[in-house]
Structure 1
């Protein structure tokens, strides 16, 4: 990840919130032949007691668990990307200026525990509940259990135990407050490049600046160097 210190995320609670809110992730492992393997999948944050390492649950479609060697005990990398978007220099009202891309992202280095059929089914059910809960007529697995049970063996559930992490929030921290405010306003309303969720992240970052808590910039690593 980019090494600019001002963009580092220090607070693990912020990382947990990112995983809860943006649960679509990329799992990267090294295959037996040394080639990288990547899968895109939903993950759920396990609510572990305070002080315990982060733990996540997820599933892949078979045979991806074989490609990733999820039963090998090897370390894998999980990338969770939050809001992101293009930032036009035309929004700055200053010159010279060039475009950039603002974003929030976390790299989670994890050991993997492959789970059995019933635990895998529970992960599938919890994942459905996570996203169906906001629907007007939620379709949960018990409602289609016969069909769900029939296709569930095509997925392999796993638990990711986080050994260390690195997070970055690149949110125009290098710009004067007035410029950052203009970027926020554009991200809320621009007809082509609006990203309201990214604007909300920037507003929160500006709030941390104004209350003296800084840029959340120190370390950004748990359980070792990243």
Structure 2
């Protein structure tokens, strides 16, 4: 990913926040048998570990297709993103752009035992069920527990310690404050490119910048 000093996101804490808020990720491997391979899975941050450590699972035979455990992989996390019209700028002439926040995470997966895989699967289910009015647990009943155990055999758990990352937070940091405010207002509006999530991310970024300058 091409970097620009104005948009570089070097903070580990910022990357962890991105992972927590956007847990659907792309796993990419350069394999000896099939070349480039990509899959998509939900991923959790291991909050007990130092640094960035991901917990996830893949469905068989993705573990074989990706040759997991044999080489470094790339995990891509994508946050809010969207089109920014030049009509929202003061300047003329102007060209459009795309604002986004994303991180490329690199590490070699560790394949988990069957028991560890079950714990990761339970943690994933709990994480996404917790906000529900009546959470359904993987082992909520004996019947569901038995069913979950049978399904779990078709998956492989992964622990991925991240050894390096490249992250980018492009939120119009190179634009004047008045232009930034106008872009946010458009994103919060009802136009064809409205995006409340991207507007919120822009607000967070520029509030942090303004606080640092104060």
Name the TM tier (shorter chain): over 0.9
Alpha carbons of structure 1 residues 142 and 34: separation in structure 2 relative to 1, 3 Å: closer
Deviations 1:152-188 (A, max 9, x none): 1111110001111111000011111101111111111
- What TM-score comes out, normalization by structure 2 length? 0.93
Higher relative contact order (CA 8 A, sep 6+): 1
Structure 1 segments of 4+ aligned residues over 4 angstroms from their partners:
none
Number of equivalenced pairs: 211
Tell whether the 8 Å contact from 1:48 to 1:54 is kept in structure 2 after alignment. Answer: no
Give the whole-Å Cα distance in 2 for the aligned partners of 1:140 and 1:194. 36
| Structure 1 unmatched ranges of 5 or more | 215-226
Show the counterpart of 2:51.
53
Partner of 2:173: 173
Alignment of 1:25 with 2:25, yes or no, is yes
Correspondence for 1:106 among 83, 103, 107: 103
Q: Distance in 1 between matches of 2:192 and 2:150?
A: 44
Structure 1 equivalent of residue 38 of structure 2: 38
Shift of 1:212: 2.7
The within-5 A match list for 1:113-132 is: 113-132=110-129
Q: Distance in 1 between matches of 2:99 and 2:115?
A: 41
Specify the alignment match of 1:12 in structure 2: 12
* Residues 20-65 of structure 1 deviation map (CA, whole Å, 9 limit, x = unaligned): 111011111111236111111110000135xx32111011111000
SS of equivalent residue, structure 2 residue 6:
helix
1:139-163 deviations in Å (ceiling 9; x for gaps): 1101221211111111111000111
**Counterpart-to-counterpart distance in 1, 2:185 and 2:95:** 18
Q: C-alpha separation between the residues in 2 aligned to 1:16 and 1:9?
A: 11
Deviations 1:68-96 (A, max 9, x none): 11132x11111111111111122224321
Is the CA contact (8 Å cut-off) linking 1:79 and 1:106 kept in structure 2?
yes
Aligned alpha-carbon RMSD (Å): 1.5
